[in-house]
Structure 1
Amino acid sequence: MQPLGFKKIDFRKMSVTCTGRECYWNKAPRPKNPGIIKEKGDYYPKRDTERRATFDPRAKRFQNEDVDIVARLLSLLKTSQDTKSLWSLQLKTAAKKYEFNTPIVISDPIFADLIVDNYDGPPRDTETVKVQCSIFFWLMHWVRNYHRTTLELQNTRGQTENGFWYSERCVRVTASVAKQVLGLTSPEAKMNFLRKHMWGLDKFESPGMIYGKESEPIAREEYIKEIRKEDPQATVREMGTCINPDFPQLSCSPDGLLFSEVLGDRLLEIKCPVVLAEGDPNHFEQFLHQKQKWNFFLKRNKHGSLELKKTSQYYYQIQMSMAILNLTLCDFVVWSKNGMVKLTINFDMSFWQEKKKRLMAIHRSLFVPEHFFMRTPRFLLPQELTYPEFHEDHEDVYFVNHVEGDM
């Protein structure tokens, strides 16, 4: 409160009188000691643009200039963009020597001579790789000289626990990834797939995969008990990697083969989904929320019966496996500790013929060249090639001369 009749005055806003200012006119002059005249560049030094461009704000112990790490970062930057932009074209990746921590074991000596485990330096000459791809592709079909029916490759039982199983898978397209291979469109997606499938890198084992591997033997035993109620003489044989001489670049590793004079021979495929670990597959809708039901591989038809969705990766896997094994029936088992579903799947020839043609083309242009270019382990995008067609005549002079000269 201000006293009545008084007004508050802010002296800070009042102008200063001449006598109130600091005396500056009687001060001593500034000393004049001029130095040596310098060049303009000495007064205005150039900025160290290189140092700024390569500056790493991290502590020294965290700084890493490993070429693979840089290549992976650049690859992630490219793949994280929904649309391509001009700046991504400036991201140049460098390659360095790459070596396997664990040597790849190729059981076939012919392939072992062609595939080189260690590779360094610039990419191989494209024309040389084309010749190697043709020889590789031709030799793969030599199995026709010795087998005309489906065969199981030696020492491949045990699947994930067997090193030979991995070595045979890496040179082929397997049934379990058939749908994934057909869906590979971008170069980045192809690179990530080949790193994992062909070279065994970036491995990841989810809880669902662990649960499935642990539950499969139990599910197989329960399936055998159910089958023997209809045919006491029925047997189920566990299998390794199987190929068909007509298209040896494709393979499958079935969970089992049923041999029965009553029911007929058929393929066995077992799935143990972790989302139904505590539920009953016969009533899967009760245990899944809406999004899970939408993504689940089973559905109910208009009659209320369970069916396998034809868009599911498991449908692709089953159709390809039956084609390789020359079977027309498959028992598809979905198991949990609270119940089991057994569906009979018929072979669909029209579905398979279209998928077979595409899978063989992808294997030829993408898989085979990658064995020789070896780009994806170094985070380089794969290179696809078109090379001379496979010759049905195994006495073809072109191939025989190259085989004898290169081996």
Structure 2
Amino acid sequence: MIEVNFDGLPGPTHNYAGLSVGNVASQSHFGEVSYPRAAALQGLAKMRTAMELGLTQGFLPPPLRPAADALRGFGFSGADDEVLAAAGEQDLALLRAACSASSMWRANAATVLAAPDTGDGRTHLVTANLAGMLHRSFEAAETFALLRRVFASEDRFAVHGPRASARHFGDEGAANHMRLAASHGAPGLNVFVHGEASRGGAFPERQSLRASQAVARLSGLAGERTFYALQNEAAVQAGAFHNDVVAVANQNVLLAHPQAFADPARLYRELRARLPNLHVVETFGVSLEDAVSSYLFNSQLVSLPGGGMALILPSDAQENAVAWAAVEAVLAGDNPIERAVVVDVRESMRNGGGPACLRLRVPVDGPGLAGIDPRFILDEARWTSLAKVVVSYWPEQIAPGDLVKPELWAQAREAHAALEAVIG
């Protein structure tokens, strides 16, 4: 088995509206000018980097934005531009939510359960409801339809719709799930990381325990291979709104901040009992503030075709002296991580999403890979076609006041149509 990373392509309405409560970067860059074309090209460059490492790389296109249909559910009527104009006049915050390009962060698209672990031997994808944030909740139904389109083989994949969209069933997908195993094809340990609403901090929980338990039941996971871990409250309040801001796992390696979990000693003890060769790599000396600002742990930890592992890191981690010292210590340590690969995803980072946020990991064997719609697996020609569409149709920049302009809405629709034409 191999692991395919499906990266979200940043959409043409990428902007800084500060919509994500608890996300320090999103809040701090509110109102600044964004650069959608650069965001998409940075995302594509990261995908190319993975391809050059010998990895199989997929992509997931963005839904149409602004989401006029979503606004009709709030009582706005008429043609699309009439709906958008009325929302801009009567509820600007709602229009901003409908313009969000947050679907780029496909780690939140679904929780993926590998075929060796599930009850029926298929790969299960449970679409996230993203109930905690209004702008992201608009994505759930669209993401479900997209996943069914991409993973169309019902012999190999089971694609589940989102759970009921309620805060006590808040589900933010793979960003709060880790799989540990001797190899991608071996039976694995599934760790679901969740918050706790009763703690009542300034920043809300995003992932509920109930939602994680529902995902495990839907996929038929064995109880002895399923673990639930409570997030450390200090990490959440520091801006680690998803677990993947403070921890990342791959095969038998878990790279984590010492304050990632409420009870790390118990979690590591239970995991080692099932996976004796587990490498837990903790980065002592990196503060939560440095972890959140550098997104050191929001790196992709990938298995290289020739053996060993690589960390695909944001350039922000390299520019943070404390974080980079930790990376060098990890590379020098007794663990399978042997390479650090730096990518520039600054446009995504400024809205609160690093390399790991941008991708959905899907482990597949040969027949499973053959069951994926090939239009969403990248090769050189397909990558070049996507890059040409971005250069030709994505806006160069968007200022805060541009979200109410019909010219932007028309350009976004044209870009979406051009992208769909390239996909075919």
Does the TM-score normalized on the shorter chain lie above 0.5?
Answer: no
Higher relative contact order (CA 8 A, sep 6+): 2
> Which range, TM-score by smaller chain?
under 0.3
TM-score (norm: length of structure 1):
0.26
Bigger proportion of residues as strand: 2
